[in-house]
């Protein structure tokens, strides 16, 4: 049994962590922080957790996080880096669901996130928490940078092709769509129902914060730089990411066999039968990534379809998966979730 704390328990990723951890047989939730809602019962704010979580929110300044074995940061960018050193020094492991430790190049991070990094020396120690690539490093990590939602869907789709060296890595395209929960639980005009429903739009075409994260991950797989065009879109969904990925083949290959072989031992990546078109609703509420690979008209183009729930495999579920690996639990503990339908 491990003692767990959550910093920032009132956002969508925070409540999703609570949903998953409440039924984890090896987790004892010790503290859940909220600066604005300290003293309020978690179940009062989130009635879905009545009977599962009986703790109140604690003020961050009064929360004794050093008593925990692990602390999750489900906070905006720039928060975890302020407290991580103190926690690590106290022997507490950290999983950051924001972007503070994802990018190894500090200059690139500061450019995209618009602030000075508070503990740049810890970035080199942080392990990027994509289990399908870094499982061995995650096992011994003190500090895990949980991947972003778009980067998870895009990387899992491209990885088999890049590892096998069967596509031109200089001209990759990722056309990705996300539901509105990806913007977080805050009052924002663009996320209002009347603004986002019955509509569909691209954003961040000139550059999105997840672009350098995706390129960094794909470059590690390829062992060289990749060329990537990444265009995100907002869809009138609550949950879900659908990434349509394009590349040019440089040699003939059995794509279906390649993907099935790469992910045959991965519990949370489902390579669907040839000709499939995975839907976001097929992963809603689960930690699954469903992938289908196509070769239109038998030509030299490859199209990969990759879908995840942005709050689970794209955030809280992947964080729990990383926790399980770090503490030697079965990787699917508390994550054997059947997707919700309808």
Active-site residue list? 149
The DSSP code sequence of 89-141 is HTT-EEEESSSTTT-S-HHHHHHHH-S--S-HHHHTTPEE--HHHHHHHHHT-
Token pair belonging to 246:
């394009």
What's the CA gap between 112 and 315, in Å, rounded? 20
Indicate the DSSP class of residue 147: P
d(CA 174, CA 217): 14
- Tell me the HSE value of 109 on the side-chain side, using a 13 A CA sphere: 21
Q: Which two tokens stand for residue 67?
A: 């008593």
Alpha-carbon distance of 91 to 68, in angstroms, equals 9
**DSSP secondary structure string for all residues of 248-268:** EBSS---HHHHHHHHTTT-TT
Give the Å distances, CA to CA, from 128 to 170, 214, 254: 23, 12, 30
Task: Report which DSSP code applies to 155.
Answer: H
* Positive or negative torsion for Cα 45, 182, 214, 321: positive
């Amino acid at each position: 049994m491990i003692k767990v704390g959550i910093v920032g328990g009132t956002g969508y990723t925070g409540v999703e962590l609570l949903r998953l951890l409440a039924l984890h047989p090896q987790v004892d939730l010790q503290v859940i922080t909220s600066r604005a809602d300290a003293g309020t019962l978690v179940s009062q704010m989130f009635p879905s957790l009545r009977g599962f979580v009986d703790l109140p929110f604690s003020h961050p300044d009064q929360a004794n996080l050093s008593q925990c074995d692990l602390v999750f940061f489900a906070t905006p960018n720039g928060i975890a880096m302020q407290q991580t050193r103190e926690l690590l020094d106290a022997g507490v492991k950290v999983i950051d669901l924001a972007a503070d430790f994802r990018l190894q190049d500090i200059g690139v991070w500061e450019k995209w996130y618009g602030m000075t990094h508070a503990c740049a020396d810890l970035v080199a120690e942080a392990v990027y928490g994509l289990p399908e690539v870094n499982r061995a490093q995650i096992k011994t990590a003190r500090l895990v940078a949980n991947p972003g939602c778009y980067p998870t869907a895009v990387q899992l789709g491209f990885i088999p092709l890049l590892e096998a060296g069967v596509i031109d890595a200089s001209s990759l395209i990722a056309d990705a769509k996300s539901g509105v929960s990806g913007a977080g639980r805050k009052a924002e005009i663009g996320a209002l129902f009347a603004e986002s429903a019955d509509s569909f739009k691209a954003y961040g075409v000139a550059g999105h914060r997840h672009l350098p994260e995706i390129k960094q991950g794909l470059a590690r797989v390829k062992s060289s730089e990749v060329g990537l065009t990444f265009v995100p879109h907002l869809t009138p969904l609550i949950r879900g990411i659908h990434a349509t990925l394009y590349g040019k083949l440089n040699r003939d290959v059995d794509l279906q066999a390649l993907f099935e072989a790469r992910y045959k031992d991965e519990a949370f990546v489902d390579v669907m039968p040839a000709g499939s078109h995975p839907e976001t609703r097929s992963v809603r509420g689960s930690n699954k990534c469903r992938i289908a690979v196509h070769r239109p008209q038998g030509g030299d183009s490859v199209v990969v379809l990759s879908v995840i729930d942005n709050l689970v495999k794209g955030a809280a579920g992947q964080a729990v998966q990383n926790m399980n690996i770090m503490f030697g639990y079965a990787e699917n503990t508390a994550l054997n979730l059947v997707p919700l339908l309808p």
